[in-house]
């Protein structure tokens, strides 16, 4: 398959100012009649070319008369069309047979759509590109008993009964939109209804539509929706623009959710939550995704993307917005820690591997492969750096100008940066390199103190590593929040933002009368790797005294990492400094328990591996477990006290209660790691007594990693209790796939034959196979059986759902970081996949790039 290149962008030959769609809905067969009004936008004489995929073409007409047309592959070419003509097509599609979950498909008994990025062409013939904006009217008819509810974008304008037990509904969306934002839903759904009054006094009817039995689980999502609407008014001045806003939850969904205009469609895992079935992390994810999709109404819908190379224009910005929103709802420090942990877990490895790409890529084979942590999360970091450099008010001036200039348009990343520049009178020319260059910059920081002069010299250097297709890189502006603390007095001498512009820079601090300790990249002000060569003592000092909570967390992580890497290199390490630092953190009465829980967590095995030239999964596992055991045993008293102190009588959903629950399970896991005799009994007790999923799943996770006899019983009890609840059974699969036990590979293979396992539900697949692929020890067993199993799964899923199959490929692409024996086995599996017949272009792209 040939790549699409950014430099080849050309404006569309034809525009489609309006489209009328008529759906005769049925799961086995749906008829789609569409009438486009077209307008020539390019050279005279060019025929009208419409994208299509998997459509059975029944009729083509121009102004009502049979048309002169041809099919070129999937493309429909209509000759003799003039500006203002009406072009009608009729096609048949088969929703029930649509296993890709792109276009119109069936999930449970519900018919729903997913069009981003290029799914609309699987519904009807259309110029399927985001810079063609149209006004939509939609008419749907369907069997009333099977599909009593009929929803589409915009406002409802008509409905009624038809003969033969059928009915119809009409919807009208006044805002021109690209076809990737089209949506319809038909099903037996009920709504949690509410209202929101906007800042200008308009009332918006809100509905969250789910299967009737799920209605009680929609309250948290509704509260989050209303909070998001108010927040976007307050923080960005953005008001909602239609009279209705609907959300529908479905069980089969490739992604988290989709921001279709006025009709968001969600993976049910990001809507449904109640204390018995959802953890605190699930509650947070629900609120975060509801906010994210709502925020897209402006950053994505009112201002959309010119082409898919600009994807980060809406995704990076919208992730940044949802991160800000979530930070405002609870602990900003904990939110930042979680976001950075996710960035390092997924985006850093992506940026360091064969699939590295800039946040604005230059080419793709399949755009679905570019909904990546780089586009989303690094994209958000790049927006955040502008926010940091311009300040909150300057940034807001920039977004106001951006929305004002581009409302109703399909814009580019360049337009966003230009608005920031123009609104603030600044020059961001070099900053634009962040859009163009891939790879995580490495910053080296060294601090020298001249005692006699009372002066400190901070030398900063940057290197951006080569990535595929980009051998040499230019230095980029790197905003680093820096502070210096006195070694003896603890006094803070400096606290400022330094923007490292070139390859190297020296910064001088005067009036420093004692040896300073460097705190750098506070708040993670830039998405970089910092090498600062600080002693264990300095890191311990910062972990206890830095006034920036993120920097405190970071110092502890670095201290743990240095200790672990030392242990891996030398076979043993002095765990003393880590133990002391953890002791101080645990005993600091001024700290928020939620923060403590994050701060004392060990870096993941995969993250430790990312710091090594050659990953040794077994050595990492052994070193990490040994340090956990030391901490657990040496601090047993403290863990016990904390465990007792964080036990609640009744479930409550509040930041304080969440923090307590988090710390409680962390304490339990350290007690277990330290070998406390009663740890398994405590876990079982927590599991049995829990009145909420956070405590129950926390206890289960601790048991599942252990050899305790309570393990099997807890797994069985969990399964029995939640049998039939798909979202919770996903947890049952994933907790086993993520286990650190040596038998995990065998367990996962057996679970793949469990009657509840299916390749066709993306959540279930991610729970078991995605979990396994992320489990470093389990995937990389030396005999290569983990690789073979994963490759078998990729091949099997590819037949059904290429987009989801392709997401399982990246772990195999890490072969360059492993010993020759493992690397050969990984490459052999990648080659075996590549040799398969009828490989999708999704998997082809990921596998061929991974082989390099
Ligand atoms: N915009 C959608 C992404 C859908 C991607 C499908 N390949 C979700 C989101 O980012 O909000
Ligand atoms: Zn998004």
pLDDT tens digits, 123-168: 999 999 999 999 999 999 999 999 999 999 999 999 999 999 999 9
Question: How would residue 182 be classed by pLDDT, with cut points 50, 70 and 90?
Answer: very high
Residue 816: count of CB within 10 angstroms of its CB: 14
Ligand nearest to the CA of 318: 2
CA of 285 to the centre of ligand 1 (A): 15
CA-nearest residue, atom 3 of ligand 1: 258
Residue where a domain terminates, one of 411, 436, 461: 436
Share of the chain above pLDDT 70, in %: 100
For the record, the structure tokens of 538 come out as 């300095």
**Region 287-316 average pLDDT:** 99
Total domain count for the chain?
A: 4
Q: What is the pLDDT of residue 573?
A: 82
**Count of helix runs (H) and strand runs (E) in the chain:** 29, 31
Residue 279 CA to ligand 2 centre (angstroms): 23
The number of the ligand 1 atom at minimal distance from the alpha carbon of 315 is 10
Structure tokens at 719: 């399964």
- Among candidate residues 53, 88, 116, 293, the one labeled active-site is 293
User: Ligand 2 centroid to 292 CA: how many Å?
Assistant: 6
Looking at the fold, whether 422 and 458 belong to one and the same domain comes out as: no
| pLDDT the model gives residue 121 | 99
Domain span at residue 163 reads: 1-175
Is 598 inside a domain boundary? no
94-100 LR contacts (CB < 8 Å, sep 24+): 94/28, 94/29, 94/30, 95/26, 95/27, 95/28, 95/30, 96/27, 96/28, 98/122, 99/760, 99/800, 99/801, 100/800, 100/801, 100/802, 100/803
Domain C-terminal end among 405, 436, 467? 436
Atom number of ligand 1 nearest to Cα 257: 8
Give the three-state DSSP class for 173: strand
Q: What is the mean pLDDT of residues 443-455?
A: 97
Q: CA dist 255 to 117, 268, 317, 654, 804, Å?
A: 12, 11, 18, 28, 9
CA 177/CA 156 separation, integer angstroms = 17
User: Does residue 639 contact residue 702 with C-beta atoms inside 8 Å?
Assistant: no
pLDDT at position 659: 97
pLDDT at 671 over 90: yes
pLDDT band, very low/low/confident/very high, at 699 (cuts 50, 70, 90): very high
Tens digits of per-residue pLDDT, 110-121? 999 999 999 999
Sign of CA dihedral 552, 555, 560, 563: negative
**CB-CB contact of 377 with 339 (8 Å):** yes
Task: Tell me, yes or no, whether 469 and 430 share the same domain.
Answer: no
State residue 556's pLDDT score.
98
* Best CA proximity match to 447, nearest among 437, 456, 436, 434: 456
Tens-digit pLDDT profile for residues 759-813: 999 999 999 999 999 999 999 999 999 999 999 999 999 999 999 999 999 999 9
Q: What is the number of the ligand 1 atom nearest to the C-alpha of 296?
A: 11
Q: pLDDT value at position 648?
A: 80
pLDDT confidence of residue 168: 99
Give the closest residue (by CA) to ligand 1 atom 10. Answer: 315
CB 525 within 8 A of CB 480: yes
Ligand with an atom nearest the CA of residue 257? 1
**Up-side HSE of residue 597: CA atoms within 13 Å toward CB?**
24
Neighbours of ion ligand 2 (CB under 5 A): 315, 318
Residue 670 lies in a domain: no
Judgement on whether residues 152 and 5 belong to the same structural domain of the protein = yes
pLDDT at residue 667, rounded to an integer? 98
Q: Which atom of ligand 1 is nearest to the CA of 376?
A: 10
Q: Tell me, what's the pLDDT at 598?
A: 98
Ligand 1 center to 257 CA (angstroms): 6
Indicate which CATH number applies to the domain containing 476.
Answer: 2.60.40.1840
Identify whether the C-beta of residue 552 lies closer than 8 Å to the C-beta of residue 559.
no
Picking from 476, 497, 381, the residue whose alpha carbon sits closest to that of residue 430 is 476
The verdict on whether 514 is a catalytic residue reads no
Q: Ligand 1 pocket: which of 112, 255, 310 to mutate (most atoms <8 Å of CB)?
A: 255
Same domain, 30 and 111: yes
Instruction: Measure the CA–CA gap between 109 and 387, rounded to whole angstroms.
Output: 45
Question: Is 322 inside any structural domain?
Answer: yes
The kind and range of the H/E element at 169 are strand 166-177
Give every CB contact of residue 690 below 8 A, 6+ residues apart in sequence. Answer: 696, 699
Q: Which amino acid residue places its CA nearest to atom 7 of ligand 1?
A: 368
User: Which helix (H) or strand (E) is 640 found in, with range?
Assistant: helix 636-645
Inform me whether the pLDDT recorded for 571 exceeds 90: no
Mean pLDDT, all residues of the chain: 98
Sign of CA dihedral 795, 799, 802, 805: negative
Q: Are residues 9 and 139 in the same domain?
A: yes
Residue with tokens 């040499």: 472
- The residues that bridge with 509 in the sheet, in sequence order, are 456
Ligand 1 proximal residues by C-beta, below 6 Å: 116-117, 255, 257-259, 292-293, 296, 315, 368, 371
Rg (alpha carbons) of the chain, rounded to whole number: 28
The β-bridge partners of 614 are: none
Q: Where are the beta strands (DSSP E) in 451-538?
A: 455-463, 478-486, 492-500, 504-510, 516-520, 529-531
Is 768 contained in some domain? yes
Beta-sheet pairing, 65-66 with 14-24: unpaired
764-778 pLDDT, tens digit per residue, is: 999 999 999 999 999
Q: Are 113 and 63 contained in the same domain?
A: yes
DSSP string, 488-507: TT--EEEEEEEEE-SSEEEE
* CA nearest to 557, candidates 576, 588, 578, 530: 578
In the reported structure, the alpha carbon of residue 116 is separated from the centroid of ligand 1 by a whole-number distance in angstroms of 6
Domain for residue 134, yes or no? yes
DSSP state of 203: E
Q: pLDDT tens, 81-99?
A: 999 999 999 999 999 999 9
Instruction: Determine contact, residues 286/296, Cβ cutoff 8 Å.
Output: no
Using an 8 Å Cβ cutoff, are 235 and 320 in contact?
Answer: no
The protein residue whose alpha carbon is closest to atom 8 in ligand 1 is: 258
Going by CA atoms, what residue is nearest to atom 2 of ligand 1? 258
Q: What is the DSSP letter of 3?
A: P
CATH of the domain at 143: 2.60.40.1730
- 49, 67, 51: which is closest to 13 by C-alpha? 49
Residue 107 and residue 762: Cα distance in Å, rounded? 12
- Is residue 346 located within the same domain as residue 476? no
Assigned domain for 310 exists: yes
Specify the pairing of strand 166-177 against strand 155-161: antiparallel
In a domain, 202, yes or no: no
For residues 476 and 420, membership in a common domain is answered with no
**CA atoms of 714 and 693, how far apart (whole Å):** 14
Q: Please tell me the distance between residue 606's alpha carbon and the centre of ligand 1 in angstroms.
A: 26
Global pTM reads: 0.99
Same domain, 353 and 475: no
pLDDT tens for 398-435 read 999 999 999 999 999 999 999 999 999 999 999 999 99
Q: For a pocket test of ligand 1, which of 366, 371, 375 has the largest count of ligand atoms closer than 8 A to its C-beta?
A: 371
Mean of pLDDT values over 342-359: 98
Q: What span, in angstroms and rounded, lies between the C-alpha atoms of 324 and 418? A: 22
| Backbone angles phi and psi of 660, in degrees to 5 | -65, -45
Look at the block and give the residue holding tokens 């073409």: 57
CATH number, domain at 404? 1.10.390.10
For residue 361, pLDDT beyond 90: yes
Mean pLDDT of 39-63: 97
Decide if 152 contacts 171 (C-beta within 8 A). Answer: yes
205 Cβ contact list (under 8 Å, min separation 6): 193, 195, 243, 244, 245
Q: Is residue 701 part of a domain?
A: no
Say if CB 548 and CB 340 are below 8 A apart. no
The domain that holds 833 is classified in CATH as: 1.25.50.10
By percentage, how much of the chain surpasses pLDDT 90?
Answer: 99
Examine the domain organization and report whether 141 and 47 are in the same domain: yes
CA-nearest of 579, 681, 559 to 626 is 579
User: Do 846 and 764 share a structural domain?
Assistant: yes
pLDDT at residue 649 tops 90: no
Last residue in a domain, options 119, 145, 175: 175
Dist. CA 438–CA 666, nearest whole Å: 36
**Distance between Cα 222 and ligand 1 center (Å):** 21
Residues for the chain: how many in total?
A: 852
Judgement on whether residues 489 and 378 belong to the same structural domain of the protein: no
């Amino acid at each position: 398959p040939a790549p699409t290149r950014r430099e080849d962008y050309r404006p569309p030959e034809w525009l489609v100012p309006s489209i009328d769609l008529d759906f005769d809905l049925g799961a086995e067969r749906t008829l789609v009649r569409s009438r486009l009004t077209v307008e020539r936008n390019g050279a005279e004489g060019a025929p009208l070319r419409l994208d299509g995929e998997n459509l059975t073409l029944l009729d083509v007409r121009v102004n009502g008369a049979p048309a002169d047309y041809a099919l070129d592959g999937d493309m429909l070419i209509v000759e003799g069309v003039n500006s203002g003509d009406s072009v009608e097509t009729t096609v048949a599609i088969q929703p029930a047979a649509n296993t890709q979950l792109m276009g119109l498909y069936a999930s449970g008994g519900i018919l729903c759509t997913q069009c981003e990025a290029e799914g609309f062409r699987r519904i009807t013939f259309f110029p399927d590109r985001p810079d063609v904006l149209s006004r939509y009217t939609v008419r749907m008819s369907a069997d009333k008993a099977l599909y009593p509810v009929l929803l589409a974008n915009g406002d409802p304008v008509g409905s009624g009964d038809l003969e033969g037990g059928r009915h119809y509904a009409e919807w009208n969306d006044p805002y021109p939109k690209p076809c990737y934002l089209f949506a319809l839903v038909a099903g037996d759904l009920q709504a949690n209804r509410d209202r929101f009054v906007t800042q200008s006094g308009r009332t918006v009817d809100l509905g969250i539509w789910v299967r009737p039995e799920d209605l009680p689980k929609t309250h948290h999502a509704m509260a989050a929706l209303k909070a998001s609407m108010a927040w976007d008014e307050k923080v960005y001045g953005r008001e909602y623009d239609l009279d209705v806003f609907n959300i529908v939850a479905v069980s089969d969904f490739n992604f988290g959710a989709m921001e279709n205009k006025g009709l968001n469609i969600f993976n049910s895992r990001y809507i449904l939550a109640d204390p018995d079935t959802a953890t605190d992390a699930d509650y947070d994810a629900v609120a975060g995704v509801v906010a994210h999709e709502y925020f897209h109404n402006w950053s994505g819908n009112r201002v959309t993307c010119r082409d898919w190379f600009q994807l980060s224009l809406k995704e990076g910005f919208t992730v940044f917005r949802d991160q800000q929103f979530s930070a405002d709802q609870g602990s900003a420090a904990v939110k930042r820690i979680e976001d950075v942990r996710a960035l390092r877990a997924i985006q850093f490895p992506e940026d360091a591997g064969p699939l590295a790409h800039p946040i604005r890529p230059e080419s793709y084979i399949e755009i679905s492969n570019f909904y990546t942590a780089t586009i989303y999360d690094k994209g958000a970091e790049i927006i955040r750096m502008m926010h940091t450099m311009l300040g909150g008010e300057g940034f807001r001036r920039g977004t106001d100008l951006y929305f004002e200039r581009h409302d109703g348009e399909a814009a580019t990343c360049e337009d966003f940066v230009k608005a920031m520049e123009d609104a603030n009178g600044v020059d961001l020319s070099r900053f634009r390199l962040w859009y163009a260059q891939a790879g995580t910059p490495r910053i080296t920081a060294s601090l020298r103190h001249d005692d006699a002069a009372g002066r400190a010299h901070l030398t900063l250097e940057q290197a951006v590593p080569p990535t595929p297709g980009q051998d040499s890189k230019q230095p980029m502006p790197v905003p680093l929040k820096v502070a210096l603390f006195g070694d003896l007095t603890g006094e803070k001498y400096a606290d400022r933002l330094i923007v490292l512009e070139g390859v190297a820079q020296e910064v001088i601090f005067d009036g420093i009368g004692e040896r300073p300790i460097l705190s750098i990249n506070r708040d993670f002000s830039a998405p970089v790797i910092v090498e600062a060569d600080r002693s264990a003592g300095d890191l311990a000092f910062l972990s206890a005294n830095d006034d920036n909570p993120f920097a405190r967390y970071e110092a502890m992580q670095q201290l743990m990492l240095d200790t672990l890497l030392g242990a891996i290199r030398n076979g043993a390490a002095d765990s003393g400094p880590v133990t002391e630092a953890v002791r101080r953190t645990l005993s600091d009465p001024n700290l928020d328990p939620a923060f403590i829980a994050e701060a004392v967590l060990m870096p993941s095995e995969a993250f430790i591996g990312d710091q090594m030239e050659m990953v040794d999964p077994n050595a990492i596992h052994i070193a990490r477990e040994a340090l956990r055991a030391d901490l657990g045993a040496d601090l047993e008293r403290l863990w016990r006290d904390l465990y007792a102190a964080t036990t609640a009588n009744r479930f409550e959903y509040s930041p304080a209660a969440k923090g307590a629950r988090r710390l409680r399970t962390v304490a339990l896991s350290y007690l277990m790691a330290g070998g406390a005799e009663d740890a398994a009994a405590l876990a079982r007790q927590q599991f049995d007594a829990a009145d909420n999923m956070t405590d129950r799943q926390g206890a289960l996770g601790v048991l599942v990693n252990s050899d305790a006899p309570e393990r099997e019983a807890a797994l069985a009890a969990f399964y029995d209790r939640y049998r039939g609840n798909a979202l919770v059974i996903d947890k049952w699969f994933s907790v086993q796939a993520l286990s650190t036990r040596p038998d995990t590979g065998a367990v996962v293979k057996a679970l793949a034959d469990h009657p509840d396992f299916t390749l066709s539900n993306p959540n279930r697949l991610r729970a078991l196979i995605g979990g396994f692929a992320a489990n470093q020890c389990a995937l990389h067993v030396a005999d290569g059986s983990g690789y073979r199993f994963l490759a078998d799964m990729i091949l099997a899923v590819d037949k059904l759902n290429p987009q989801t199959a392709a997401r399982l490929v990246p772990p195999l692409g890490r072969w360059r970081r492993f010993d020759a024996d493992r690397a050969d086995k990984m490459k052999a599996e990648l080659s075996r996949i590549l040799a398969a017949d009828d490989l999708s272009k999704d998997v082809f792209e990921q596998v061929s790039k991974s082989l390099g």
